[in-house]
Structure 1
Amino acid sequence: MSAQPTTTTVAATPGAPGPGESPDDGLKAGLKNRHLSMIAIGGVIGAGLFVGSASGIAATGPGILLSYALVGAMVVFVMRMLGEMAAANPTSGSFSAYADRALGRWAGFSIGWLYWFFWVVVLAVEATAGAVILEGWMPAVPQWAWALIVMVVLTATNLASVSSYGEFEFWFAGIKVVAIAAFVIIGGLAVFGLLPGSDSGAPGLANLTEQGGFLPNGVGSILTGVLMVVFSFMGSEIVTLAAGESEDPRRAVTKATNSVIWRIGVFYLGSIFVVVALLPWDAKSIVKDGSYVAALNTIGIPHAGQIMNVIVLTAVLSCLNSGLYTASRMAFSLGRRGDAPASFARTNARGVPRTAILASVAFGFVAVFFNYIWKDTVFQFLLNSSGAVALFVWLVICLTQLRMRGIILRESPEKLVVRMWLFPYLTWATAGMISFVLVYMLTDDAGRDQVLLSTLVAVIVVAIGAVRDRRRKNAAVAVDA
């Protein structure tokens, strides 16, 4: 039984939420604090951490820890900036809505649509990755059918209510968190010989300095490692979009922002340290089996490969679930600000932006189809043209925060409950770091295509946004005249 849709109003600055309402008119505050806490913790643990770290270790050696630390610091700073703005004004549009106000309508339009594009392409990637694992377990069902099944199930979850999304994500993220925490604890005990029955003995810290030293491929390999690991951090900003539908948005954002340091420290640096300490960086098993499976095998954990497949599948489903949620809420916010079809800004009686969800998943289904039919042409173009978008988003967050600090202080200084450290110097330094990564990607064969094609798409979207903004201003002048 479908409810009659309720049309939301368009407002540049959402007001304070009332009981049972979110700051965005039409959405419901259906996310509990435990949901937000787990979304925040699990948001930094993507499938890329489990499956992408092996290539980084092979290219950089133990020094991959420095690559993860550099990117982790960048993410911490970006999240601090975003937390400052989101705590002052929680909204489902997050950085797109803030860019809209601080930099201009063209900026909010552009970064909002680029971010939506990024996530709907991710839907296809993750649906295919999950289908590969499921087909391995049950080969009687073809891979395309598995991709269809997981997309349909998670679409139904998101359409049910925001609390359904939150509940699924609570358990998906919970499994990831428990798995990584157990890996760090058990692996750490094995590294120092404190784990009974470990087959690896007690390597201690020897593997960090042997086999050519801490940086066997030179200092430059740290930057190569940065390019390989930066995309595994994407998604940490999701909690600021979800906070708009929580019981206490300001508290949720503040808590998530303050905890991002230990989350990255434990889940990324802690788990990668265990891998490079347990195994020589050039061990063939790291590339052959995957870094985490190789480490589990070294410890002597039986069925390590299947255990990791379950964890990776959970991470994939979590990413799919959050990706659909994030894309739909960004589409909702764009519709609410008049930058997308008005139907995107309508919610049903359960506070679900049904049209925004269906539009997002429709593009995701099309991208999945492209992945099976034109994997090396059309889908590869989609993949490359969205590859650097997340870095563009982080850069826009930096530039937006530089302007938003003054706006917040001028209008509601009491709302500045989270402050960026060493403002504005650290904000500019972070923007410089992100810009350097983008430029350095041009020296990498795979990264070059991503930057160039993503920039091409960004230029087209920005041009459309600028034209729309100019027409809107001209229309306003004509009315005033």
Structure 2
Amino acid sequence: MTLEKIERQENAAGKLDAPEKLHRGLSERHIQMIALGGAIGTGLFMGAGKNIAVSGTSILIIYMLVGFFMYMVMRAMGEVLLSRLDYRSFADFVADYLGPKASFFLGWSYWLSWVVTCIADVVVCGGYMQYWFPHMSAWAPALFTLGLLCLFNMLSVKMFGEAEFWFALIKVVTIVALILTGGWMIATGWTSPDGVRASMHHLSDPEVFMPHGIAGFLAGFQIAIFSYTGIELLGTMTAETKDPQRILPKAINALPLRIIIFYMLSMTVIIGVTSWGAISPDVSPFVMLFAKAGLPAAAAVINFVALTSAMSSANSGVYSSTRMLYGLSIEKHAHWQFRILSRTTLIPIRSLLFSCFCMLSGTLLLFLVPNVMTLFTIVSTLAAILVIYSWAMILISYLVYRKKRPDLHAASSFKMPAGIVMTWLSLAFFAFTIVIMLFDPDTLSALCATPLWFIMLFIFWKMKQRKEQQMTTVINSQA
């Protein structure tokens, strides 16, 4: 029996739902807070310590540069997404402008990037739990977190939105409180119990601008890029967003202010209060700031917030990988069972279970690499490479869109600023970030492993084409 016959029978039996039946359960409140949460990832809470340690105060320039080009990606994505309301996600317009092969490679790569990101996030959850329980194995809380988030996403898209809303709200309130507290410490010249005086001099000291030279500066880009992973999550929610033409532009346009507040100001107060030399690459600087200040209770609260931040990012990973796999199935780039929706909640339940199973398998790497920060660096590098590929595909699609559909660009009310010029500059910047990963041993191993993924995708693409040709031959012979 052919695949098409099976699909027709499943549709007739009511087991498959049309893609339009995804429920639009995400309101403006959910989207705005999810956008905030996407701008505050695990890379900020956990990876900022390593970034500051290797890059010094030049980390502020790194976050500003990556944030600027991320905003350009979001503007390009927003313009093309809103040019047609039948686009479910950015994978749809990649297929439209670059063809099914590009859509196949992008969809699966973006799916894997979120699976890998989720693994990194739940691994970090285990690390945060060790703050309270130093002798606890990191794999136990990691697996519990993954199971809990899988359950959340099984219930309804609104439940995902609510969970992400509160996770993000906790992060936002905490970072604002940290900025205000750190600002007060700097303004009053507060001195910690170990004798470090809070001062803006820690930022202006030329010796800590690039303490490890240009190599240290370049090494900071990988974690910075991983920190911004999730901002593009808005581009996977169009099919489940109420009134996307009004909500998405507002969420995207708010990104620059969020980057300034959550990245630039938080890094400024952390370095200003703690000093560069006292920041450990293996501990969250947010937690360490209050611990060194002699406020262990506050440090424990920040550790809890960092834990919810990691859970928030992992929650986004479960959602996004599930929806991308669902979209792949709709486009016949994945098995037909992945498009089956649950009858009551209209969730792509089999896509969810498969994605969570893959995340579970990756989380078990904690048995082989028990050091949380080592595993986090390896996994986050792989996620950063894959998400750079996804961002590049969005930008290339924008260039083709501008060439093929000037009418849609002219009619757009949400045009990308300096569209074509900024697109080429953004692509050049992302190519630069890939090249610099060659010079860091921590990132080189993940970079070298990445081509294996694309070779495997190429093999599966060829197998898929061969199967489709055989099916076409069979159908034509029966006609």
TM-score (normalised: structure 2): 0.86
Relative distance call for 1:374 and 1:135 in structure 2 (3 A) is closer
C-alpha deviation, 1:445, in angstroms: 1.2
The corresponding residue for 2:128 is 133
Judge conservation of contact 1:87–1:254 (CA < 8 Å) in 2: no
CA distance in 2, matches of 1:353, 1:106: 23
Which shifted more, 398-407 or 286-295? 286-295
Q: 1:294 aligns with which of 271, 278, 288?
A: 288
CA distance in 1, matches of 2:85, 2:221: 31
Relative distance call for 1:385 and 1:315 in structure 2 (3 A) is closer
C-alpha deviation, 1:323, in angstroms: 0.6
The corresponding residue for 2:457 is 461
Q: What letter is aligned with 1:449?
A: S
TM-score (normalised: structure 1): 0.86
C-alpha deviation, 1:296, in angstroms: 2.8
The corresponding residue for 2:427 is 431
C-alpha deviation, 1:35, in angstroms: 0.5
Alpha-carbon displacement from aligned partner over 1:330-378 (angstroms, at most 9, x marks no partner): 0010011111111111212322111111111111122223432577999
C-alpha deviation, 1:308, in angstroms: 2.1
Relative distance call for 1:458 and 1:175 in structure 2 (3 A) is same
- Report the 3-state secondary structure (helix = DSSP H, G, I; strand = E; otherwise coil) of the residue aligned with 2:21: coil
Q: 2:228 aligns with which of 230, 233, 243?
A: 233
Judge conservation of contact 1:102–1:404 (CA < 8 Å) in 2: yes
The corresponding residue for 2:398 is 401
Judge conservation of contact 2:30–2:165 (CA < 8 Å) in 1: yes
C-alpha deviation, 1:386, in angstroms: 4.6
The corresponding residue for 1:328 is 322
Alignment of 1:20-419 (within 5 A): 24-89=19-84, 94-134=89-129, 137=132, 143-193=138-188, 203-210=198-205, 212=207, 214-283=209-278, 285-287=279-281, 289-297=283-291, 301-349=295-343, 350-372=345-367, 386-410=383-407, 414=411, 416-419=412-415
**Count of residue pairs brought into register by the alignment:** 461
The corresponding residue for 2:437 is 441
Which shifted more, 466-475 or 445-454? 466-475
Relative distance call for 1:51 and 1:107 in structure 2 (3 A) is same
CA distance in 2, matches of 1:100, 1:211: 49
Unaligned runs of 5+ in 1: 10-23
Instruction: Say whether residues 1:422 and 2:418 are aligned partners.
Output: yes
CA distance in 1, matches of 2:232, 2:302: 26
CA distance in 2, matches of 1:281, 1:90: 48
C-alpha deviation, 1:108, in angstroms: 0.6
CA distance in 2, matches of 1:38, 1:194: 34
Q: What letter is aligned with 1:444?
A: D
C-alpha deviation, 1:441, in angstroms: 0.9
Q: What letter is aligned with 1:456?
A: L
C-alpha deviation, 1:73, in angstroms: 1.2
CA distance in 1, matches of 2:375, 2:122: 17
RMSD: 3.3
Alpha-carbon displacement from aligned partner over 1:144-164 (angstroms, at most 9, x marks no partner): 443332222211111111000
Judge conservation of contact 2:208–2:276 (CA < 8 Å) in 1: no
Alpha-carbon displacement from aligned partner over 1:176-207 (angstroms, at most 9, x marks no partner): 11111111122123222298x98889744211
C-alpha deviation, 1:259, in angstroms: 0.8
Judge conservation of contact 1:384–1:449 (CA < 8 Å) in 2: no
Identity score, percent: 28
Relative distance call for 1:426 and 1:387 in structure 2 (3 A) is closer
Unaligned runs of 5+ in 2: 1-12
CA distance in 2, matches of 1:345, 1:289: 41
The corresponding residue for 1:8 is 17
CA distance in 2, matches of 1:308, 1:378: 22
Judge conservation of contact 1:344–1:356 (CA < 8 Å) in 2: yes
Judge conservation of contact 1:169–1:321 (CA < 8 Å) in 2: yes
Alpha-carbon displacement from aligned partner over 1:129-152 (angstroms, at most 9, x marks no partner): 223434654689865443332222
Judge conservation of contact 2:128–2:303 (CA < 8 Å) in 1: yes
- Report the 3-state secondary structure (helix = DSSP H, G, I; strand = E; otherwise coil) of the residue aligned with 2:39: coil
Q: What letter is aligned with 1:365?
A: L
Q: What letter is aligned with 2:272?
A: A
Judge conservation of contact 1:388–1:451 (CA < 8 Å) in 2: yes
C-alpha deviation, 1:465, in angstroms: 3.0
Relative distance call for 1:386 and 1:50 in structure 2 (3 A) is closer
CA distance in 2, matches of 1:299, 1:142: 28
CA distance in 1, matches of 2:339, 2:87: 11
C-alpha deviation, 1:398, in angstroms: 1.2
CA distance in 1, matches of 2:324, 2:58: 37
CA distance in 1, matches of 2:37, 2:201: 31
Relative distance call for 1:6 and 1:256 in structure 2 (3 A) is farther
Which shifted more, 393-402 or 453-462? 453-462
The corresponding residue for 2:9 is none
Relative distance call for 1:381 and 1:270 in structure 2 (3 A) is closer
Q: What letter is aligned with 1:178?
A: V
Which shifted more, 382-391 or 118-127? 382-391
C-alpha deviation, 1:436, in angstroms: 0.9
CA distance in 1, matches of 2:309, 2:41: 6
Judge conservation of contact 2:226–2:381 (CA < 8 Å) in 1: no
Which shifted more, 87-96 or 218-227? 87-96
CA distance in 1, matches of 2:49, 2:257: 23
C-alpha deviation, 1:90, in angstroms: 5.4
CA distance in 1, matches of 2:238, 2:299: 36
Relative distance call for 1:224 and 1:142 in structure 2 (3 A) is closer
Q: What letter is aligned with 1:395?
A: A
Which shifted more, 453-462 or 318-327? 453-462
C-alpha deviation, 1:68, in angstroms: 1.1
CA distance in 2, matches of 1:98, 1:216: 44
Q: What letter is aligned with 2:328?
A: L
- Report the 3-state secondary structure (helix = DSSP H, G, I; strand = E; otherwise coil) of the residue aligned with 2:25: coil
Relative distance call for 1:102 and 1:368 in structure 2 (3 A) is same
Relative distance call for 1:463 and 1:410 in structure 2 (3 A) is farther
